[in-house]
Amino acid sequence: MKKLLSGNEAIALGAWEAGVQYASAYPGTPSTEILENFALYPGIKAEWASNEKVALDNAIGASFGGARTIAVMKHVGVNVAADSLMSLSYTGVKGGLVLVSADDPGAFSSQNEQDNRQYARFGKFPCLDPADSEDARRFMATALEVSERSQTPVLLRSTTRLSHSKSVVEFTEPQAREFQPLPKFEREGEVTRVIIPAIARRRHPEIEQRLQAVAEWAESAAINRLEWGDKRIGVLSTGIAYQYVREIFAGYSILKLGMSYPLPLDKIRAFATEVEELIVVEELDPFIEDQLRAAGIKVAHGKDIFPLCGELTLAKVRAGAIQAGVPVEPLPGKVAPLAELAIPSRPPALCPSCPHRAFFYNMARQKRHAMIAGDIGCYSMGVMEPYKSMDMLISMGASIGMAHGFKQAGGQESAVATIGDSTFFHSGLSPLAAAVYNHVNITVAVLDNRITAMTGQQENPGTGITLQGEAGREIDIAEVVRAMGVTFVEEVDAWDVAAVAKTLKAAMQHQDGPAVMVVRGACIFTPHFKPQASLQVDPEKCIACGVCFKVGCPAILKSERIYEKTGKQQTKIDPLLCTGCTVCQQVCPVGAIERGSE
């Protein structure tokens, strides 16, 4: 059957077809849909881990047991998993183990645009780079074979553009399959999977040999494909960049690399001598180019004409080609951008009725006494207008540790950490333990919206529902925090503006180690959220003071009506957007906002 599949759907399909029996992941754009799709296939187990290191550790256990397995994460997730990953290279694997890293060139939804191909070189294991969905599906099988044959972890690297593009995939309809128990566990004869120093020293040269063997295989592997054309120019490319090359350098010779590490250097050398000029087109780092230069292969052009930063596009590849003097067809002309009218930008905003709103409304009122360390999730939007209530944000789980360090270094303001429920389970527990242990007076606001919202509503340990839809045990955050020895623990209704204010103030004054407030209210995209009738503004009462705009709700608009005393525009509420959370009603000083008639 022939179907349009996204890169992520194809990776999931490829994993299932290749007999992956267990998969673990932590959500993160652009990787999230891989496990969501894999979870739907028969005869497999797929899980959300609490963070990426846990996901990889889960996969390692499965592999050592003999199962084929994948661990899936976004690029920065690999940083979290890196400790295990670097030593997994030393232990090697048993059942094929593929780490899927979905990178984000362009940083569309990430804190950086690191190029994770570098991990392959750093950790000395292969990296495969599919260029479309069909590649993604097939490369998964190849990656697992290489992994098993060479006893190595393999990195399958996607990018946002690959993960979130659909292209044609041909496959046979998946059939029913039974989950297979593993064979009886066999203890190793010569121990390699207990990576104590003596074994690490023994393994290191073996790993270097393993890499050499993979490089030799790469010389003739089908995933590295020659497309001969005009030999005045030879282009070497990999991943999604190949698609731009195929269009812009149409007619010239192309070497499409399916594996960016280790490289088939002899094959590339032969290609380079056949063509007059070798051009390397790759996204982000000069990863291949540097290796070629180090090997003494003459590269005519690479990062001198193609950008180092950001996502590649057809336009950028065309511009580079023209700069290199390649006779490519120019574009017929241009349409001028609309400059005569100011086009307002459209930044994202917290949804109407979002449970994070009342907290940030209050935080903005308290911020002159506070330093606010933020974390990653929908609540990162606390940095924007009208709240502007976030002073630092760096990586998942960092808020608590940063608030801690700020305070211990002598910070005079209250130090507040804001962290979501999913992030709390990801990497909030250990910094909280450190804060309790060192008796640090910080406020930790756990914004518990009962879901991992930012990445599209995935369940997490706080909700207790598993990826495959089974109800497990909900971990109660307040209970956990109390058990850790926190002496101020209060739960508060996320939509009760006054209660949130009171709890926040009390927490900021607490002087006996960390104070934890759990702000509870379900994200509007969860089944727990119950929309209510929309609110409306009574024009007889509204004094156009603008306080309601400080809650930052997309449903609150400037009205055409003018408040006569001041000549200012009154407020109106968009009845299609409003779901009646009442936060604006609670802050209105004159009671002008009331429930609509519906």
Contact residues toward other proteins (CB under 8 A) are 2, 4, 29, 108-109, 132, 160-161, 164-168, 240, 243-244, 246-247, 313-315, 318, 331-338, 340-351, 378, 381, 385-386, 456, 525, 549, 552, 554, 556-558, 569
Question: What is the 8-class DSSP label of residue 500?
Answer: H
Binding to ligand TPP by residue 452, rule CB under 6 A?
yes
* CA 444 – CA 45 distance, rounded (Å): 35
- The packing angle between helices 197-220 and 265-274, to 10°, is 30
The one of ligand TPP, other proteins, ligand SF4, none whose footprint includes residue 178, by CB under 5 to 8 A per kind, is none
Residues 34 and 102: beta-carbon distance below 8 Å: yes
Q: Minimum Å distance from CB 216 to ligand SF4?
A: 50
Q: Which of 297, 454, 507, 515 binds ligand TPP (CB under 6 A)?
A: 454
Judge residue 91's burial from the number of C-beta atoms within 10 Å of its C-beta, 0-12 exposed, 13-18 middle, 19 or more buried: buried
CA 378 to chain centre: 13
CA 155 to chain centre: 16
Q: Minimum Å distance from CB 250 to other proteins?
A: 8
Q: What is the largest CA-CA distance in the chain?
A: 88
CA 479 to chain centre: 29
Residue number, 359 or 406, with CB nearest to ligand SF4: 359
Residues 6+ apart with CB under 8 A from 195: 87, 90, 91, 203
Residue number, 76 or 350, with CB nearest to other proteins: 350
Q: Which of 5, 363, 403, 453 binds ligand TPP (CB under 6 A)?
A: 453
Choose one: 4-12, 183-191, 406-414, 519-527; the region binding ligand SF4 (CB under 6 A): 519-527
Q: Minimum Å distance from CB 82 to ligand TPP?
A: 11
Q: Which of 223, 350, 507, 555 binds ligand SF4 (CB under 6 A)?
A: 350
First CA to last CA distance, the chain? 49
Binding to ligand SF4 by residue 525, rule CB under 6 A?
yes
What letter represents residue 70's amino acid?
Answer: I
Residue number, 21 or 422, with CB nearest to ligand SF4: 422
Q: Rule CB under 6 A: which of 411-470 touch ligand SF4?
A: 449, 453
E-strand ranges in 218-355 read 225-227, 230-238, 252-257, 259-261, 277-281
Q: Minimum Å distance from CB 3 to other proteins?
A: 9
Q: Rule CB under 6 A: which of 27-46 touch ligand TPP?
A: 27-28
Q: Minimum Å distance from CB 569 to other proteins?
A: 7
Closest CA to 115 of 128, 100, 102: 102
Q: Minimum Å distance from CB 354 to ligand SF4?
A: 3
Q: Which two tokens stand for residue 208?
A: 């270097």
Residue number, 414 or 449, with CB nearest to ligand TPP: 449
Residue number, 441 or 449, with CB nearest to ligand TPP: 449
CA distances 552 to 44, 385, 454, Å, are 44, 7, 18
Q: Which two tokens stand for residue 361?
A: 């409304």
Residue number, 101 or 449, with CB nearest to ligand SF4: 449
Number of residues that bind ligand SF4 (CB under 6 A): 10
The one of ligand TPP, other proteins, ligand SF4, none whose footprint includes residue 164, by CB under 5 to 8 A per kind, is other proteins
Choose one: 71-79, 319-327, 433-441, 488-496; the region binding ligand TPP (CB under 6 A): 71-79
Sheet strands side by side (includes 69-74): 45-48, 22-25, 69-74, 97-103, 154-159, 127-128, 259-261
Q: Rule CB under 6 A: which of 360-379 touch ligand SF4?
A: 378
* CA 48 – CA 31 distance, rounded (Å): 12
Q: Which two tokens stand for residue 212?
A: 């050499």
Q: Rule CB under 6 A: which of 372-431 touch ligand TPP?
A: 376-379, 396, 420-423
Residue number, 59 or 451, with CB nearest to ligand TPP: 451
Residue number, 384 or 394, with CB nearest to other proteins: 384
For 50, other C-beta atoms within 10 Å of its C-beta total: 17
Q: Which two tokens stand for residue 476?
A: 């109660």
DSSP string of 32-70, one letter each residue: THHHHHHTTSTT-EEEE-SSHHHHHHHHHHHHHTT--EE
Q: Minimum Å distance from CB 76 to ligand TPP?
A: 4
Residues 48 and 86: beta-carbon distance below 8 Å: no
* CA 101 – CA 136 distance, rounded (Å): 12
Binding to ligand TPP by residue 455, rule CB under 6 A?
yes
Q: Minimum Å distance from CB 90 to ligand TPP?
A: 24
Q: Minimum Å distance from CB 27 to ligand TPP?
A: 5
Binding to ligand SF4 by residue 351, rule CB under 6 A?
yes
Q: Minimum Å distance from CB 353 to ligand TPP?
A: 14
The one of ligand TPP, ligand SF4, other proteins, none whose footprint includes residue 344, by CB under 5 to 8 A per kind, is other proteins
E-strand ranges in 350-505 read 370-373, 414-420, 442-448, 488-493
CA 318 to chain centre: 29
Give the length of the chain.
598
| Footprint of ligand SF4 (CB under 6 A) | 350-351, 354, 356, 378, 449, 453, 523-525
| Footprint of ligand TPP (CB under 6 A) | 26-28, 52, 74, 76-77, 80, 376-379, 396, 420-423, 449, 451-455
